[in-house]
Structure 1
Amino acid sequence: MRVRVKGFKIFEDRHGKPRCYHRKTGHKIDLEKAPLGSAEFFAECTRITALSEAMKAQAPKPGTLGGLVSAYFQTEHFGNLADATKRDYRKCADFLHPIRDTPVSSITTPLVAGIHDKAAGKIGWRRANMVRTFLSQVFRYAVPKGLIDKDFAAGVIPKPRPKDRPYANRPWSVAERAAVLDRAAPHVRVAVALIMNTGLDPSDALKLTRNQIEGDTIWGVRGKTAHEVAIPIGPTLKAALDAAPAHDAVTILATSTGRPWTYNGFSTVWHRFKKKLEAEGVVEPGLTLKGLRHTVATTLREAGLEERQIADLLGQKTPSMARHYSRSANLADRNRITMETLEQENERRSKVVKSFTKNVKP
């Protein structure tokens, strides 16, 4: 049974178990107590939606933490953030909502440290650090306006990654790359190939339009940092793009129906495909699309390239956004040498890779 409710994300987790949460607030629905599609489920959706609307209607009081947060959301800085970062920051604001009436005069570094500790216990170390970062941004932009004395989050030490926790977005093995490209549907294969051969963030790759390709170069701007990128199209990527299904979408990549991908849409398709490969033992767990960006960096570093060369290719430089593509020709030339190294190294590794087999205990 396929169930859709406006404002809610319904999906299967990595264990194939159904999950549901409210997109704006992140509130989860316990599908064991309120099974998907049941009267209890829809009642819970209605309750969470009403709660969200009530929270939105409550105007924050001046001179409070909620007032500072509200003021920050009106800044140009917040408006220029990537959509994913905006969503993360709004989730942080939702977490802080119960203490929104805290007077600004009561905010201290120890108080922020306490909030940070509580967040780590409730939502995990990574999201707790996001709450800390969010508060730091709020305070930084409130200081010049005279709304608060200083950034009280600056002195709070971020939570460390637990030692037993595997790193997210690990690099892909050569065998995994070959297996995914071999098994993926054509419209998915070209998307993976584009990310794999450019090091672009998946969200940026999905947004690329046809007019961002000039000759044999992809020109663009990283959505997360607004850094300019100039990526030469090597033989491998050109072959993948030439073999892609024809479509009329303005974007380079498109769905099987010829429409531009949404990030959530591609993530869902990718997740289902990846889980199938995992179940068959074709890839190891922990394979992510963002891991391909790490793969490019790792491959180039192991091939002996300098960090600055790799950073240029990945768009980690900070040129002005007003700079025209033509003025970045020197960057494109330098990146062409870097891309040639990546092509050569990928070809060399693909020739010596052994077939991927899952370790099976006797």
Structure 2
Amino acid sequence: MTFVRVKGFKIFADRHGQMRCYHRGTNQKVDLTKSPLGSVEFFADCARISAAAEAMKELQPKPGTLGGLFAAYFAEEHYLELSDATKREYRMCAEVLKNIRDTPVTTLDTPLLAAIHDELAKKHSWDKANRVRNFLIQVFRFCIPKGLISRNFAEGVIKKPRPKGTPEAYRTWTFNEVQTVLEAASPQLRAALAMIFCTGQDPSDALEFRKDQVDDGVIWKGRNKTNVGAAIPISGILEGELEKAPVNNAETLLASSKGTPWTYDGFASAWQRLRKKLEKAGKVAPGLTPKGLRHTMATWLREAGQDEREISDLLAQDSKVMGLHYSKNAALARKNRKTMQVWEGEYERRAQKAKLSNPQKKPSNPDKEIKPNE
């Protein structure tokens, strides 16, 4: 028997006497039924697999470089426990810096990072430059204890200020915009937007609310981003919206048109299609975002006279009342119910104002007084 050897490949007979061939580095198989051992096709397949493996090897981050620091951080438990939205954000930041990932760690210092920060602001935006800065701070923070870098040089980089006249990142919605969007959305998307609007939570949190987290009309959950516990009363408005949603067998309160839990990407795609359609038709002003609904609840509560502590407790903003593994705090739930009642009252006030400003039809008798409930 003639034996064939190819560098980097494992060629052997299996227990049935059949010849097998695998690339050692990638374990990729050479199909010997299509490319017989020793044939021109066989050597061509080996060459192709070896070239692809070398190309992939070149893409791997090198130790002692900025890319190596990224790889070390992405393997950290801290990163793996982040919300999907934050993971996407950090991966995006790493992608923005891919052209300089081979920069040796020994050359990194604050002046160099400040120059990179300036360049990113010119090429992309002040906001993206600041987000990359924040990402680098996290990477360096976790790489210092490992001895991979000596200092957190990114902390010395001064954040770019918001340019004057720049629109608010997550502007509040008007009452009419809320109603217009909900009426135009599909039943599943409407339920998701209503959940964000009526709970004041981040979209990534609201999409993940599970049915087993509801107890006595309260949703108990820790926020993904901050690990802060939340006790969110289900208002009558939200209850009505959820009743309109199609029944689903998902473990989550919300489900996509497939009847499965929403993915963030799926929700974002559905939202973008709806937003562009409504903007093109002139039915809503530019700048609407789902996260803006969270800001809308906070704004309405402030205008209704609620203090920052009451708003923070309901929106789970840096509250230390409960941690991620929280116990159900009845006092907080009662407090948040009162805050939610204030929000419901503010909703009704704005609904009446919108109704009087934009009546659906004119009264048959022009002299008849229009009462709030008509």
SS of 1:218's equivalent? strand
Q: Deviations over 1:282-335 (max 9, x none)?
A: 2212111111001000000111111111111111114322223x2x22221111
Distance 1:100 1:287, change over 3 A: closer
CA contact (8 A) 2:73 2:143 kept: yes
Distance 1:60 1:226 in 2: 31
Q: Deviations over 1:144-168 (max 9, x none)?
A: 2332221111111111122232112
Bigger radius of gyration among the two: 2
> How far did 1:183 drift?
3.1
Is 2:218 the partner of 1:222?
A: no
After TM superposition, the runs of 4+ consecutive aligned structure 1 residues lying more than 4 A away are 53-57
Structure 1 stretch displaced more, 88-97 or 110-119: 88-97
Q: TM-score, normalised by structure 2?
A: 0.76
Distance 1:257 1:69 in 2: 36
Q: TM-score, normalised by structure 1?
A: 0.78
Give the letter aligned to residue 320 of structure 1: G
5+ residue gaps, structure 1: 1-49, 357-362
Give the corresponding residue for 1:111. Answer: 112
Out of 317, 320, 332, the residue aligned to residue 323 of structure 2 is 320
5+ residue gaps, structure 2: 1-50, 360-374
Distance 1:274 1:61, change over 3 A: closer
Counting only pairs closer than 5 Å after superposition, residues 155-170 of structure 1 correspond to structure 2 as 155-170=156-171
Give the corresponding residue for 2:213. Answer: 212
Distance 1:261 1:127 in 2: 27
Counting only pairs closer than 5 Å after superposition, residues 20-169 of structure 1 correspond to structure 2 as 54=55, 58-169=59-170
Give the letter aligned to residue 65 of structure 1: L
Distance 1:339 1:62, change over 3 A: same
CA contact (8 A) 1:219 1:230 kept: yes
Distance 1:92 1:205 in 2: 25
> How far did 1:56 drift?
7.0
SS of 2:220's equivalent? strand
> How far did 1:98 drift?
2.6
What is the alpha-carbon root mean square deviation over aligned residues? 2.2
CA contact (8 A) 1:175 1:355 kept: no
Give the letter aligned to residue 143 of structure 2: A
Structure 1 stretch displaced more, 256-265 or 330-339: 256-265
Give the corresponding residue for 2:257. Answer: 256
Give the corresponding residue for 2:296. Answer: 295
Distance 1:135 1:345, change over 3 A: same
Structure 1 stretch displaced more, 307-316 or 118-127: 118-127
Distance 2:78 2:165 in 1: 36
Is 2:184 the partner of 1:183?
A: yes
SS of 2:290's equivalent? coil
Structure 1 stretch displaced more, 98-107 or 55-64: 55-64
